[in-house]
Copies of this chain bind each other. A is one copy, B any other.
Amino acid sequence: MRIIVIGFGVIGQNFTKLLLSKSVDLYNQYGMKPRIVACVDSKGSVINQSGIDLKKLLDIKKNRQTVGEYNLHQTQQDVLQIIESVDAEVVLELTPTNLENGEPGLSHIITAMKSGKNVITVNKGPLSVAFPSLIELAKFNGIFFRFSGTVGGGTPILEFAKRCLKGDRIVSFRGILNGTTNYILSKMEERLSFTEALKDAQIRGYAETAPALDIEGLDAAAKLVIMSNWLMDMKVTLEDVERIGISKVTTNDVIDSEKRGNSIKLIASCENKNLIVKPLEVSKLDPICVNGTLNAVTFSLEYSGEQTIIGRGAGGIETASAVLRDMIEIRENIVTV
């Protein structure tokens, strides 16, 4: 299986490490011999049709900041041209999320699909602005499109709902889809103010220096859009989500809700086709009421009741493991001897 990697940040590098450490397992368990044949980061690229040396790739990235230094004399090519022209079964789109217009990820994915390559992404941008059309394009071109890592990091929330609940029907779902805001709200239960809790999250690397994406509920909304399209057969984008962030939540609100045996959580919900992200009081006895950076989703099913899945919603190695899972699934689908 030949792979083109677009974007070589934390997740791309962790994925490469995973390939290195799991190569024997992957061959023995799934008959897979994955090779990275092209790798592009923001400053350069490297192409090698017979497979890039993964250890060298990681070293070069670490020591010289760009994979473009892998071959001293390699001519740098345009990324869309690489996606189009390099022979490969899968394109991994791992560039940073842009919820405005999904770019550059959106163009990468479209180009990959049009050239008949399967696509795996962890980039919420393209999916939250253009999910319905991307699914259509994937179907039209007969390729597999997977994006496990966009929701729940390494926790297989999408697979759980799609594969484990067959024969039943998801009536509605709600969840904590953003670890950063959940960490901040948990800290506020320990009597920190919103500003202090945010600062603490930034020090620990959970929140960005420009944290609006998390705080204003945009990240949770993007995940809600992905889940609603994929699991509920809706055709929605980010604009269809009613959204309130957590910046107005005060320590007093948190204390008051505790008196009622509740916690305030940023809840994303899909109920009766309404998509909402907003701070809500949740009973501390509700399985969804998890603390710290955890994510949790409860699905309400027609026959088998409520089912909750909980796990870490982020992390480089965790999300890289979601990419690997997608790759194994695609491999099992395309190789049906």
Within the complex, what minimum Cβ distance (angstroms) separates A174 from chain B?
A: 14
Within the complex, what minimum Cβ distance (angstroms) separates A183 from chain B?
A: 14
Within the complex, what minimum Cβ distance (angstroms) separates A230 from chain B?
A: 15
Known: A304-B317, A305-B312, A310-B310. 5 other contacts (CB 8 A): A167-B328, A168-B324, A304-B321, A307-B309, A309-B310
| Contact string against B for A residues 283-303, beta-carbon threshold 8 Å, 1 for contact and 0 otherwise | 001010011001010000101
A residues whose Cβ falls under 8 Å from a Cβ of B? 18, 22, 26, 153-156, 159-160, 163-168, 285, 287, 290-291, 294, 296, 301, 303-312, 315, 317-318, 320-322, 324-325, 327-329, 336
Query: Judging by beta carbons under 8 Å apart, are B163 and A164 in contact?
Result: yes
Query: Judging by beta carbons under 8 Å apart, are B329 and A166 in contact?
Result: yes
Query: Judging by beta carbons under 8 Å apart, are B155 and A163 in contact?
Result: no
Q: How many angstroms between the C-alpha atoms of A329 and B107 in the bound complex?
A: 36
Q: Which 5 A-B pairs have the closest CB atoms?
A: A154-B304, A156-B164, A307-B311, A167-B324, A303-B321
Q: How many angstroms between the C-alpha atoms of A323 and B317 in the bound complex?
A: 35
Would you give 12 A-B contacts (Cβ < 8 Å), ordered by A?
A: A154-B301, A154-B304, A159-B163, A160-B309, A163-B163, A168-B321, A168-B324, A287-B310, A301-B321, A303-B321, A308-B308, A309-B309
Q: How many angstroms between the C-alpha atoms of A19 and B274 in the bound complex?
A: 30
Q: How many angstroms between the C-alpha atoms of A167 and B32 in the bound complex?
A: 11
Copies per complex of this chain: 2
Given contacts A164-B159, A165-B156, A168-B321, contact A308 B311 (CB under 8 A): yes
Query: Judging by beta carbons under 8 Å apart, are B308 and A168 in contact?
Result: no
Given contacts A285-B291, A290-B287, contact A304 B153 (CB under 8 A): yes
Query: Judging by beta carbons under 8 Å apart, are B287 and A304 in contact?
Result: no
Query: Judging by beta carbons under 8 Å apart, are A307 and B155 in contact?
Result: yes
Which residue of A18, A285, A296 has the most chain B CB atoms within 10 A of its CB atom?
Answer: A285
Within the complex, what minimum Cβ distance (angstroms) separates A255 from chain B?
A: 18
Q: How many angstroms between the C-alpha atoms of A164 and B18 in the bound complex?
A: 18
Q: Which residues of chain B are within 8 angstroms of A303 by Cβ–Cβ distance?
A: 18, 154, 317-318, 320-321
- The closest CB in chain B to the CB of A304 belongs to B154
Q: How many angstroms between the C-alpha atoms of A184 and B87 in the bound complex?
A: 61
Which residue of A163, A164, A336 has the most chain B CB atoms within 10 A of its CB atom?
Answer: A164
Q: Which residues of chain B are within 8 angstroms of A159 by Cβ–Cβ distance?
A: 163-164
Query: Judging by beta carbons under 8 Å apart, are B325 and A168 in contact?
Result: yes
Q: Which of B22, B167, B291 contacts A327 (CB 8 A)?
A: B167
Query: Judging by beta carbons under 8 Å apart, are A311 and B315 in contact?
Result: no
Query: Judging by beta carbons under 8 Å apart, are B160 and A304 in contact?
Result: no
Q: Which residues of chain B are within 8 angstroms of A168 by Cβ–Cβ distance?
A: 154, 321, 324-325
Within the complex, what minimum Cβ distance (angstroms) separates A2 from chain B?
A: 18
Within the complex, what minimum Cβ distance (angstroms) separates A23 from chain B?
A: 12
Q: How many angstroms between the C-alpha atoms of A296 and B311 in the bound complex?
A: 13
Query: Judging by beta carbons under 8 Å apart, are B328 and A166 in contact?
Result: yes
Q: Which residues of chain B are within 8 angstroms of A165 by Cβ–Cβ distance?
A: 156, 325
Q: Which residues of chain B are within 8 angstroms of A325 by Cβ–Cβ distance?
A: 164-168
Given contacts A287-B287, A296-B287, contact A306 B317 (CB under 8 A): no
Q: Which of B22, B160, B310, B318 contacts A164 (CB 8 A)?
A: B160
Q: Which residues of chain B are within 8 angstroms of A18 by Cβ–Cβ distance?
A: 303
